[in-house]
Amino acid sequence: MADPALSAAYARCRAIHRKYDPSFYAGCLMLPPAKRPHVDALYAHARMFDQIVDDPTAPVADKAARLEARVAEYELALERGAAADPVLRAAAHTATTWSIPIEHFHAFTDTMRRDLTTTDYETFDDLLAFMYGAAALLGLQMVPILGPLDPSAAERTLTVGYALQLTNILRDIDEDLDRGRLYLPVSDMERFGVRRTDFEARRMTDGIRALLEFEANRARTYFVEAHEATALLHPSSRTCVHTALTLYSGILDSLEEADYQIFGVHHGFHKGKALRIAAPAYLRARRSWQR
């Protein structure tokens, strides 16, 4: 990019993306180089809001104030085409470049506001509404960059966000409990005879194991639908989404191999295995760019 400040802003977004979500970042390396910075910007933009909401040291009122201030700063960046904060600058530039509707941003921030005080979800539909705002909307913002080939692409690719977010929820249960949150639906817990206090005791039970297996299978259904939805995207984007989905599904594999033990265990892909998946995928991606 000709503007050094804008180039530095995108570099900052790339560093955030690589640090906080290496699986998704690795998948995005399969995109044509000119498109990658824009995905980095959208991810980093969302991540900065997540960090405000997840700050364990700040009172809710302080986090709410910081959230509103960042919303205002972003909207100002859209108007002026610049911002002191590098992530906001890159995100505004991406939104303008790809004509990403501001409504997607507003729906996302509404979800972040609710997440400040919501600690439980009664039904899976309630959780689905959260996953739509927290993750699927990022996919909607990405669709113009990925290149939709059909008007139904945006709706169909929502399943990508659902697959990744539900996997994150299962992986991060132990960590989320420290923040006072449990994202698993209460109705699902009741189905398997599990209570919140069972999770807070940090002891695996047959009920918890059965519940986690049920939710993991639900996530796998979304992964299947998400892989199918990639056919509606430009060929140069398909390997990106396929690779990110494959790497993320490795978290579910890790859970299953550990008999769904989530307490005190980190689940994810071994770097060597991830490289064996990503390296040939990158070669396939390069051929698709040429086509």
DSSP 8-state secondary structure symbol assigned to residue 150: S
Domain ranges of the chain: 4-290
For domain 4-290, is the CATH number 1.10.600.10? yes
The amino acid sitting at 42 is L
pLDDT tens, per residue, the chain with 291 residues: 779 999 999 999 999 999 998 888 988 899 999 999 999 999 999 999 999 999 989 999 999 999 999 999 999 999 998 899 999 999 999 999 999 999 999 999 999 999 999 989 999 999 999 999 999 998 899 999 999 999 999 999 999 999 999 999 999 999 999 989 999 999 999 999 999 999 999 999 999 999 999 999 999 999 999 999 999 999 999 999 999 899 899 999 999 999 999 999 888 766 667 777 777 777 777 777 766
pLDDT in the model for residue 291: 60
Q: Which residues pair with 233 in a beta bridge?
A: 148
* DSSP output for 67-129: HHHHHHHHHHHHHHS--SSHHHHHHHHHHHHTT--HHHHHHHHHHHHHHTT----SSHHHHHH
pTM recorded for the entire structure: 0.90
Work out whether the CA dihedral 196, 200, 206, 209 comes out positive or negative: positive
Q: Are 77 and 92 in contact (CB under 8 A)?
A: yes
